[in-house]
Amino acid sequence: MTEALVTRELCKVYQEGSIQVTAVQPCSITLCAGEVIGLFGPSGSGKTTLLSILGCILRPTSGELSVFGQTVSHLDENQLPEIRRKYISFIFQAFNLFPALTAFENILLGLRIKGVVGSEAEDRTAKMLQEVGLGHRMHFLPRDMSGGQKQRVAVARALAADCPIILADEPTGNLDISNGRKVMELLKELASEKQCCVVVATHDNRIEDIFDRIVYMEDGFIRRIKRSDT
C-alpha of 77 from chain center? 20
CB of 212 to other proteins, least distance (A): 23
Q: Which amino acid is at 38?
A: G
Write out the binding residues for other proteins, residues 8-47 only, by CB under 8 A.
none
Q: How far apart are CA 58 and CA 13, in angstroms?
A: 11
Sign of the Cα torsion 225, 227, 228, 230 reads: negative
Answer yes or no whether residue 89 interacts with other proteins by CB under 8 A: yes
CA–CA separation, 226 vs 4, rounded Å? 19
Q: Which of 13, 64, 92, 133 binds other proteins (CB under 8 A)?
A: 92
Work out which of 10, 72, 97, 184 binds other proteins, going by CB under 8 A.
97
CA-nearest of 116, 55, 59, 64 to 88 is 55
114 is a contact residue toward other proteins (CB under 8 A): yes
* CA separation for the pair 49, 20 (Å, rounded): 15
The least distance separating other proteins from the CB of residue 162, rounded to whole angstroms, comes to 13
Dihedral sign computed on CA atoms, order 215, 216, 217, 221:
negative
* Residue whose CB is less far from other proteins, 49 or 149: 49
For the bound state, the minimum distance from the C-beta of residue 198 to other proteins, rounded and expressed in Å, comes to 16
Q: Tell which one of 3, 105, 122, 218 touches other proteins (CB under 8 A).
A: 105
> Smallest distance, Å, CB 96 to other proteins?
4
The yes or no reply on residue 128 touching other proteins (CB under 8 A) is no
